[in-house]
Copies of this chain bind each other. A is one copy, B any other.
């Protein structure tokens, strides 16, 4: 069955206006902190109604490029890091290749996070991981749905890194690809032993992090992500194996 592509719709005026202003900002034509032209001016210049301009500015606000103050105007956001980021182009299909690329990025970040979690985790972090692990153990034993516990386990690892940007990224990707955990945890996954295999990987990952072994944690996470990819039919041969090395763990303290 060939992938049926979505029929393209004409862009809305508000999207066109929004993209144009975004380009001004990205190209540096409008610098951070600078005030945008008034809605009245933009309406006249673009030849559209004020409502269209307002919707365009709403888009820019949602994307973090612009902040507005009633009575004062709309300003280019000056704080770096506020703009939003998308893993894909709007026109990208939800195909296997796109998913594989994102999964590779996820692999890079999650293996690094595991190593960091091993060296930075607190008792509270470990308790959080343990709790999620227990829920997954129960799910395996009962043939039940462990996807949420699986997600929570990964977020707990990210939390142990103490880096909010990492937490936000891992949480975001985990949610966007929540469906990727279904083949592991659905009835078929249980019957085929995939849930049990995933759980063994989780247990190993947890042991490494609890033991404070950054190298072991990295390797356990790497293995888990590779196996997870395999369960989804994603090829991983060309992924960076993130080499395992003799390691001086005292240097991490």
Contacts and interface: CB of A to CB of B under 8 A. Distances in A.
B54 A85 contact: no
- Number of this chain's copies in the complex: 2
Interface string A30-71: 000000000000000000000100111011111110000110
A168 interface: yes
Majority-rule SS of A interface residues:
helix
A80 B92 CA distance: 10
Contacts of A115: 240
A246 to B, nearest CB: 8
Contacts of A165: 87-88, 101-102, 104-105
Given A81-B88, A81-B102, A243 B240 contact: no
Given A102-B165, A240-B115, A84 B63 contact: yes
Contact of A176 (B83, B92, B116): B83
A80 B88 CA distance: 9
A230 interface: no
Given A59-B61, A98-B164, 12 more contacts: A9-B69, A15-B61, A18-B62, A26-B175, A51-B54, A81-B98, A84-B86, A105-B165, A105-B169, A108-B166, A244-B245, A245-B245
